[in-house]
A and B are shown apart, each in its own frame.
Chain A
Amino acid sequence: MIRIAPIAAATSRANSLSSLSLLLRLEARRLADAFRNPLVDAWAGVALPVVLAVGGLWLAGASARPDISTVDGIILLGLLVAAPVSLQAYPILFRPDDDGFLRRLGIPARALFGIRALRLFVLALAIVLALMIPFVSTRQPLARPFAVAVTAAVAAWAVSLWAQARAAARTSGGRRGVAAGLLGWDPELAAAAALVYAPLYPLVAGAAAAWFVGQEVWTMSLRMLVAIALSLVVVPVAAAAFARALPRFAPHAGELAYAPPPDASGGELVVGRGIARVLPRRAQAVRARDAVVLGRRYRWAGRAAWPVAVVCALAVIRAGGSPAVRAWVTLACGLLLVAQAGAVVALGRSERGRTRGMDRALGLGLADRLVGRWAAALGLGLGLALPLAVGWRIGVDAGGGWIWLAAAAGAAAVASLASLTAAGR
């Protein structure tokens, strides 16, 4: 006979608050598992990219630090905080693994909103702390940038919750705004137009909050309080919209994630193409597979590279002599390399207990997997690093472009090592 001790007071009708309390305890228990049952590979899979990001921000120092003595710098800091919050709001609110399980248990939508809003808030705070690293490493006063960043984070967080909940309600209700017409070339995208545009609201809110708080030092505290209070007013509205939208939108969100058959015109799996032919045959196979999976599962990682590379390369060619231009180019490209490394690590985490077994059955050794994955990750990074290296060589330093190629190779090496570690036995 097992003993199952109660973890919640037994009630005939669990209300939202007690459900939220239960979900919080579940969250704590899941997080505590990393300490209760520590796995070296799981820790390494998380710690390596974190160390990479923190180390990169520390070393980048002044290059990665917005100049908050100017309005442009203050708004840039607000945007840097708001951008990841606005982009992560949708998956955090509507795509957790346990969404269907919890809904079928009858957990109230407001409790689900509460726990997911909390997760997004923790992410926002983590981004604020990460962005303070260059200020700490260059021994700058922290009070003002911290106040600006925290306010921008709270504003972006609250507006993200509202914008995503509103977009979910509109999408599941079949309502199309005027802006949907701009996406008319793709009917399915137009049907989800509200979701496409939803991240713009928190971006604007984060930038506006940063500008509002950062423009005058003496009234900063008061302005901060006003901005945060105004932001918090939005949260109950978002909760109500989320609760209305969730029952119909949550299954809809799963269907929105449907991946159509891959386009035969590009991205198909071809072993031993181009420069990859220099790799051992088995590593070529791993590279080809990993490149295709990365390209399909984390399409953003490849798609984001080209626009960033083109803009940054043109910027350094035209104005590479300016320290400010070099600084934002370094920051933007460094962040993208870290994000791409994150995709490679995420690929490893998704393989835990699955692909490893298949690789073992195929006789693929650790070296084959490491070299193949490194080559796939490098291919991803070269989309950014190659044009930038050329631009850097022309506009900044005739002998300096190689540093970007080295950075891409190094990031790929760390990411693939962390990825295989995260994939486990």
Chain B
Amino acid sequence: MTADALPLSVRALRKKYRRRVVLDAVAFDVRPGEAVALAGPNGAGKSTLIGCITADRVPDAGDVRICGTDPFAEPRGAAACMGFVPEQPFLYPELSVAELLRFVAAARGLDADASSAEAARLLAMLGLAGAEQTLCRELSQGMGRKTAIAAALLHRPKMILLDEALNGLDRTSAERLVAELDARRAEGAAVLISSHDLDFLAGWCGRGILLPQTGRWTALDGDAWDTWRRAPTLAG
């Protein structure tokens, strides 16, 4: 991992399931401070693309670097740089919210006192203050997602990946989360976010990746982004 490496770099990424090509020659970078939208209809390959970045899917070809590290060759280096909220987050049902965050902090080797304070701040920001002792199995879908968001942001990652992360969040929490992400971006963190809320993506992100259908993709930069953000659509 090098200090000046891009938070995310994807080159010639190809992924197929059996004979169906889902991603073909996908290539893009995410620079520090950027928020990049990932848009596409259901089944177009958004989660597969994010999975190939987080090493939850094995690409058939291509190269992924997170902060300059290959997530397959150096998984720990990539993990240290990345915060990821999956579409269906995993939470230990037997642990309370506080215990889960305590475990995450310890697993990442974070300072106990600092991570404790940061966890408290994140939970309060997301409206989970008072739910620390609630078992994860008792959380509602939205509360579970908030817990997963807090766990993903706890170590102040340089690359934040959010797969439908705003789903199930109430409006106040979503606004606070966006403000938090803006603050992180101001510190140099980058965000790749997939969502079906095209208006939100158009309003908040600076450019995008559009997967209009399986196997096709379009980079929305510069004029293309300006055109798209005026009338966001899933058509390529």
A residues with a Cβ closer than 8 A to B are: 1-8, 10-14, 19, 22, 26, 29-30, 33, 37, 97-98, 100-109, 172, 247-248, 250-252, 254-255, 258, 353
Contact B110 A7 (CB under 8 A): no
Give B93's nearest chain A residue, CB to CB. A33
Interface residue B202 (Cβ < 8 Å from any Cβ of A): no
Interface residues of B in 80-117 (CB under 8 A from A): 80, 82, 84, 86, 90, 92, 94-95, 98-99, 101-113, 115-116
Interface residue B57 (Cβ < 8 Å from any Cβ of A): yes
Give B84's nearest chain A residue, CB to CB. A104
List chain B residues, Cβ under 8 A from A248: 58, 72
List chain B residues, Cβ under 8 A from A10: 106, 109-112, 115
Give A252's nearest chain B residue, CB to CB. B58
Contact B101 A4 (CB under 8 A): yes
The 7 A-B pairs at the shortest CB distance, nearest first, are namely A6-B112, A106-B79, A33-B94, A8-B106, A4-B116, A14-B109, A106-B76
Interface residue B41 (Cβ < 8 Å from any Cβ of A): no
Contact B58 A172 (CB under 8 A): yes
The interface on chain B, measured as residues whose beta carbon lies within 8 A of the other chain's beta carbons, has a size of 45
List chain B residues, Cβ under 8 A from A30: 92, 94-95
Contact B119 A104 (CB under 8 A): no
Contact B51 A251 (CB under 8 A): yes
Cα–Cα distance between A8 and B132 once the two chains are bound (Å) = 19
Given A11-B109, A13-B109, A97-B90, A2 and B58 touching (CB < 8 A)?
Answer: no
Contact A104 B82 (CB under 8 A): yes
Determine which of B54, B55, B71, B76 lies in contact with A108 in the assembled complex, contact meaning CB atoms within 8 Å.
B76
Given A2-B120, A2-B123, A2-B132, A103 and B102 touching (CB < 8 A)?
Answer: no
Contact B56 A254 (CB under 8 A): yes
Interface residue B169 (Cβ < 8 Å from any Cβ of A): no
Cα–Cα distance between A98 and B72 once the two chains are bound (Å) = 18
6 A-B pairs with CB atoms under 8 Å apart are A10-B109, A11-B109, A19-B107, A103-B79, A109-B75, A255-B57
List chain B residues, Cβ under 8 A from A258: 17
Contact A4 B135 (CB under 8 A): no
Contact A2 B116 (CB under 8 A): yes
Cα–Cα distance between A2 and B94 once the two chains are bound (Å) = 19
Contact B98 A4 (CB under 8 A): yes
Cα–Cα distance between A387 and B121 once the two chains are bound (Å) = 65
List chain B residues, Cβ under 8 A from A33: 94-95, 135
Contact A6 B106 (CB under 8 A): yes
Contact A247 B73 (CB under 8 A): yes
Cα–Cα distance between A390 and B110 once the two chains are bound (Å) = 66
Q: A10-B110, A100-B56 are known contacts; what are 8 more A-B pairs with Cβ within 8 Å?
A: A2-B132, A4-B115, A7-B102, A101-B90, A105-B108, A106-B76, A247-B72, A258-B17
List chain B residues, Cβ under 8 A from A3: 116
Contact B103 A7 (CB under 8 A): yes
Contact A22 B79 (CB under 8 A): no
List chain A residues, Cβ under 8 A from B17: 255, 258
Greatest chain A CB density within 10 A among B101, B107, B112 is at B107
Give B70's nearest chain A residue, CB to CB. A247
